[in-house]
Amino acid sequence: MANYYTPIVVQQAIPAIDLTALERLLLAEIFDMQIDDDALYLCSDEGVSDMLYLDVEKLRPCLDDPAAESTTAWKQIVDQHGTAVLGDGEIEIDASGGWWENILQDVVRRSDTLDHLSVIASFTCDKMRPDGFGGMAILITADQTRGQSTHDLMAQFIAEAVAAGEMQPI
């Protein structure tokens, strides 16, 4: 069986002061978080976590913070789980589908020092499979998130070569 990995880094360190307690809690679950001075470095050796299991006792104080109420993370948790966060135990958060990108975009919007974040990921596999390699780059600004995979880039190169008459359509 082949094992697929997506090592990923957020290239800029994020000032700790730019994060709400909720964002810090969630990003620490999604990424591996390294703290250097007063800045946070987000990365992952194998890929981001897209299913989070959080103890509501740890989550509740973060949701009660007035600074968190205007964030995407707060809205998504309240929309997904409503009163479940008032109970006991653990809640499961689906953090797939652009979730962490939206959290990082909120951080950029509020930051006095960051005007963007750059995210680089590679797609690797422990077997030489044609679908096991590539990568992606994401640029997150206050206004927009842009991303492109190496597969998208190759498709663009092929379309340009076909348009220039350099090769036949595939």
pLDDT of the residue at 5: 93
What gap in Å lies between CA 117 and CA 14, rounded to an integer? Answer: 9
Encoding tokens for residue 31?
């990424």
Split at pLDDT 50, 70, 90, the class of 84 is low
What gap in Å lies between CA 133 and CA 88, rounded to an integer? Answer: 42
Q: Which residue has the tokens 């994060």?
A: 19
Q: Are 153 and 113 in contact (CB under 8 A)?
A: no
Tens of pLDDT, residues 19-60: 999 999 999 999 999 998 899 999 999 999 999 998 888 988
What gap in Å lies between CA 121 and CA 123, rounded to an integer? Answer: 7
Tens of pLDDT, residues 86-127: 677 888 888 888 899 999 999 999 999 999 999 999 999 999
This prediction's pTM: 0.89
pLDDT of the residue at 27: 96
Taken in order 63, 17, 142, 138, the sign of the CA dihedral is: negative
Tens of pLDDT, residues 123-169: 999 999 888 899 999 999 999 999 999 999 999 999 999 999 999 98
Q: Between residues 69 and 138, which one has the greater pLDDT? A: 138
Nearest one of 57, 60, 74 to 23, comparing CA atoms: 74
pLDDT of the residue at 142: 97
- Find how far residue 70's CA is from the centre of its chain: 19
Does residue 85 surpass a pLDDT of 70? no
How do 4-5 and 116-125 pair as beta strands? Answer: antiparallel
Whole-angstrom CA distances from 51 to 45, 59, 99, 131, 151 are: 17, 15, 11, 24, 26
